[in-house]
Amino acid sequence: MNATTIRVLYIDDEENNLHAFKASFRRQYEIYTALSAVEGLKILENVPVQVIIADQKMPNTTGVEFFKSIKNTFPDPTRILLTGYTDIEALADAINHGDIYRYITKPWNDLELHNSIKNAYDAYKSKIDLRNKVAELEKTNDELNRFIYSISHELRAPLVSTMGIVNLVKMENLYHSSGEYWPLIESCSNKLDYYIQKTLQYYKNNKIVSENTSIDFNMLIVDLIELYAYSDRDLQFNVNVRQDLPFFGDAFRIEVILGNLISNAIKYQKENENDKHVNIDIEVNSTQVGISINDNGMGILNEHLEKIFQQFFKSKINHGSGLGLFIVKEALNKISGKISVSSNPTDGTTFKITIPNVNQA
């Protein structure tokens, strides 16, 4: 952009200063002047100004007060303060709160003021460019997420058909008729289904607006155990739910959180363990629900405990997608929940979470 197109608004109650400014810079910038903060505000409402210069010592409204008053309504223009005296406290407060970009003492030096205006415009342009880039990235990210969701959703149809065929083969006692081929097909199908489900959970967790409904944790835990425990019928679940009060929360995200934790507790059991068990303890009070999920499985190495909630993190024994616990943490963040974990390869893993009870009744 050519410098002559930079629009500068100068506010000063001394008309001679306005004339001097206009005479010095009219060939370099598009100049607008105002004798008061009120006049300056009217210009801002009608002209897309990029740089605002205001005198500090004006009647009724100081330059700092004016900049503070327009910070929310006109956040984009870069602000320069002219001051003929040093009010350190007011200047420091204005700078610290982002109300001004720079201050210049009066009488100004033309070269210094010219350079300040150019730098102020560069700061303005950088702010606008950054905002446009962020908007563009958000749009691209949204399109990518919708594409991933669409593809994942479409993949489930043929996958469900494949899994249905495997079940028919089992019913006809042909599962082992071709060596390891049918078990291999089933294993790959289940793994692909797991990846698709986690992808869909990730997308929905980012997109769905939180909606609080009544939650019965007794019923929810029974349903989740029935959903995930089919893969290991030898596993013992010890469930203790204490819910004498109504609980209101985001049912979708709470189900995602508990489903992932229960699924992991089942998946990472020790193969040779004779007493496989998962302990689920839930206590609801008027302000929150506290949930503990403990297993005696493989456990997590100490050096991995700080990484398990990172996206795509996998330990050597983790053959999942690396998304499960990341989704748990993201879902908890959406509903102001907290999570902690303690674990070792000998005793297994314990996850403890708290989720606010948003019942306003």
| Residue 306 Rama label (left phi>0; alpha psi -120 to 50; beta) | alpha
CA distances from 136 to 32, 103, 131, 202 (A): 33, 34, 9, 21
Dihedral in degrees, nearest 10, Cα atoms 59, 63, 65, 70: 120
Look at residue 1 in the predicted model and tell me its pLDDT.
43
Mean pLDDT by 10 residues, the chain (361 residues): 74 93 92 94 94 90 88 92 71 68 86 92 93 91 80 82 90 86 87 80 79 93 86 83 94 93 89 87 95 91 82 63 83 94 89 89 49
Q: What are phi and psi of 270, to 5 degrees?
A: -75, 130
Decide if 8 contacts 31 (C-beta within 8 A): yes
Decide if 52 contacts 9 (C-beta within 8 A): yes
Alpha-carbon distance of 289 to 257, in angstroms, equals 13
Look at residue 50 in the predicted model and tell me its pLDDT.
95
Pick the CATH number of 210-361 from 1.10.240.10, 3.30.565.10, 3.20.20.70, 3.90.1170.50: 3.30.565.10
pTM value > 0.85: no
Look at residue 176 in the predicted model and tell me its pLDDT.
86
Look at residue 92 in the predicted model and tell me its pLDDT.
67
Alpha-carbon distance of 65 to 99, in angstroms, equals 9
DSSP secondary structure of 55-97: ES--SSS-HHHHHHHHTTTS-SSEEEEEESS--HHHHHHHHHT
Q: Is 242 helix (H, G, I), strand (E, B) or coil?
A: strand
The one-letter amino acid at 200: L
CATH 3.30.565.10 domain span(s) along the chain: 210-361
Look at residue 340 in the predicted model and tell me its pLDDT.
94
Look at residue 346 in the predicted model and tell me its pLDDT.
83
CATH 3.40.50.2300 domain span(s) along the chain: 3-108
Q: Say if strands 288-295 and 348-356 run parallel, antiparallel, or are unpaired.
A: antiparallel
Alpha-carbon distance of 109 to 8, in angstroms, equals 17
Look at residue 237 in the predicted model and tell me its pLDDT.
92
* Sheet with 236-242, side-by-side order of all strands: 236-242, 277-284, 288-295, 348-356, 338-344
Look at residue 90 in the predicted model and tell me its pLDDT.
64
* Sheet with 7-11, side-by-side order of all strands: 30-34, 7-11, 51-55, 78-83, 102-105
Pick the CATH number of 3-108 from 2.10.70.10, 3.40.50.2300, 3.90.79.10, 3.40.50.1360: 3.40.50.2300
Alpha-carbon distance of 232 to 267, in angstroms, equals 9
**Residue closest to 361 by CA, chosen among 241, 245, 243, 251:** 245
CA 55 from chain center: how many Å? 41
Token couple for 335 = 């509903």
